Structure 1
């Protein structure tokens, strides 16, 4: 299985996390794709560019698009010794709470950076 992970190359938190996780031995092939200035590519793949800034997106080779905590769960489930955390993140109550916290943190960061286009910011 091959997947593409779309990350925000203008996000210092994202880049720090990427440096930790990029070279791990996943059980699937991963292409890491910086979305900075790539709105046309995102739209062509069916991904809203603003949503891609707000949430981690993964495009699977079967065309499925995973977002937010489902993306993180997927990545963790494909890392030996981390699969259990991926399973935990996928549990409905846990996923909902983590999504709420992640979204709130992201909105604050984007507002601080002047990149927030959402009325919730």
Structure 2
């Protein structure tokens, strides 16, 4: 049995077409296999792990680091980028003190626009 812990676990809204497209881009990159990708619009509740409810996960993108730390919004993007080769410099920049608040503001503006694009979540079936 493989007990390797992922570098990060990304919780994304697969019912949002733009979100789905962006995650597909990241998943196609080298190093993405070290990240666990969870579509919160269709996953069972236990896939969210401790401290994360479906409503919160659908409202903002979340990333759980390998140490269990949970971040959301622009910090989640910085965590994804920091975990992917070729994006690590961008991840450090996005997490830096002068950039992080601006990135979070931009993410909040995106969230307002995203409401128009999002489809209702699929309910997981039994079993």
TM tier relative to shorter chain: 0.7 to 0.9
- Any unmatched runs of 5+ in structure 1? 116-121
The TM-score, its normalising length taken from structure 2, stands at 0.74
Structure 1 segments, 4+ long, off by >6 Å, are none
What residue number does 1:4 align with?
9
The TM-score, its normalising length taken from structure 1, stands at 0.77
- 1:67 partnered with 2:99: no
- Any unmatched runs of 5+ in structure 2? 121-127
Residue 92 and residue 112 in structure 1: after superposition, are their counterparts in 2 closer, same or farther (change >3 A)? Answer: same
What residue number does 1:91 align with?
96
SS in 1 for 2:35: strand
Distance between the aligned counterparts of 1:42 and 1:57, measured in 2?
A: 13
Distance between the aligned counterparts of 1:36 and 1:27, measured in 2?
A: 21
Distance between the aligned counterparts of 2:92 and 2:17, measured in 1?
A: 27
C-alpha RMSD of matched pairs (Å): 2.5
Aligned length: 115
